[in-house]
């Protein structure tokens, strides 16, 4: 019993540390940061999206995996975008009038240039060419999908935890309860129960969101924030306990693996429990990797298939 209590206390302290701000201390909590997922795959960006006139503009290059081709005419400051059905969009920089197959269409915001990259209104361009756009506010992720895209539920397979966990975080999170409503910070921590990929907790450095993967969909079942001594300060959804160790929804995470990324760096941290084969004692170990190039690289291999 004492060992169980000690483990619970250590778990609470570690979660409190991961939920606080030191790992992201250099990041402004007010700074918006977006990720883009195209047909279930996160894509790298060398220029961050911007918001203009309530529209989100993204680098046109990020849509290449949809089969879109684009060309840039520096003289006329015009970008031409074509899909696989040969529909053509012509967009002039700094103009909110575009041409689709020669027909004039008004955009909610003009295309812009940023650090040598052309940024276009994501919803207008995607939907004009037959794609769907979903913006997930919990993690600030933009999901773009083609009509024929479907999620392969077989990839959530515990025999390949790295691929399964990457697939899990690549699904847009939906919820049927009123969320706590705090602005998403740039901190990124994912917590998976040991040996599993069908449930995780996302922590942005302030708000914790518990997500289950069911029938190829990611559904948030609860949110909470932490107060003193790992007590639950605010909660929503199925979170009912007063402490992170005693809440039934959080019980699967008593033995968990943490995947952390500080957006100011190219490194990730994996934190996990290691068990002494003889005594059964547990302690936390940390692995730092420098392989981060795209959002899904947050998920790394963990020793002993944890």
H or E stretch including 166?
Answer: helix 161-169
Regions of the chain short of the pLDDT cut 50:
1-30
Question: What is this structure's pTM?
Answer: 0.83
| pLDDT of res. 262 | 87
| pLDDT of res. 31 | 52
| Cα separations in angstroms, 9 against 6, 15, 223, 241, 245 | 5, 10, 21, 16, 8
The answer to whether residues 279 and 249 touch, using CB atoms and an 8 Å cutoff, is no
- Cα separation, 120 vs 147, in Å, equals 21
| pLDDT of res. 274 | 84
- Domains detected in the chain: 2-33+151-305 (no CATH), 45-145 (3.30.457.10)
Phi, psi of 57, rounded to the nearest 5 degrees: -110, 130
Which token pair is 240?
């009912």
| pLDDT of res. 13 | 34
Beta strand pairing call for 132-136 and 35-38:
unpaired
pLDDT tens per residue across span 1-36: 333 433 343 344 334 333 332 222 233 334 578 899
pLDDT tens per residue across span 94-121: 888 888 899 998 888 888 888 878 888 8
- Tell me which residue has tokens 């899904």: 296
Neighbours of 218 (CB within 10 A): 24
């Amino acid at each position: 019993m004492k060992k169980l209590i000690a483990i619970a206390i250590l778990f609470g302290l570690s979660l409190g540390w991961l939920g606080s701000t030191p790992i992201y201390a250099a990041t402004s909590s007010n700074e918006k940061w977006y990720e883009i997922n195209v047909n279930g795959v996160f894509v790298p960006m060398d220029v961050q999206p911007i918001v203009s006139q309530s529209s989100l503009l993204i680098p046109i290059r990020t849509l290449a995996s949809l089969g879109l081709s684009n060309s840039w005419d520096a003289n006329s400051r015009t970008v031409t975008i074509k899909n696989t059905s040969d529909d053509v969009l012509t967009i002039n920089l700094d103009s909110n009038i575009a041409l689709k197959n020669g027909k004039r269409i008004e955009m909610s915001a003009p295309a812009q240039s940023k650090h040598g990259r052309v940024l276009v209104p994501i919803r207008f361009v995607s939907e004009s060419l037959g794609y769907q756009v979903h913006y997930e506010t919990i993690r600030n992720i933009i999901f773009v999908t083609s009509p024929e895209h479907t999620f392969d539920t077989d990839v959530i397979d515990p025999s390949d935890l790295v691929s399964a966990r990457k697939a899990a975080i690549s699904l847009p999170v939906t919820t049927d309860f009123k969320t706590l409503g705090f602005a998403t910070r740039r901190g990124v921590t994912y917590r998976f129960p040991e040996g599993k990929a069908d449930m995780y907790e996302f922590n942005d450095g302030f708000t914790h969101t518990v997500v289950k993967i069911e029938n190829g969909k990611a559904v948030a079942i609860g949110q909470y924030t932490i107060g003193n001594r790992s007590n639950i300060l605010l909660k929503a959804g199925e979170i009912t306990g007063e402490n992170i160790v005693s809440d039934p929804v959080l019980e699967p995470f008593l033995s968990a693996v943490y995947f952390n990324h500080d957006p100011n760096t190219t490194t990730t941290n994996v934190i996990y429990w290691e068990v002494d084969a003889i005594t059964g004692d547990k302690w936390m170990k940390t692995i730092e990797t420098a392989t981060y190039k795209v959002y899904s690289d947050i998920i790394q291999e963990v020793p002993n298939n944890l």
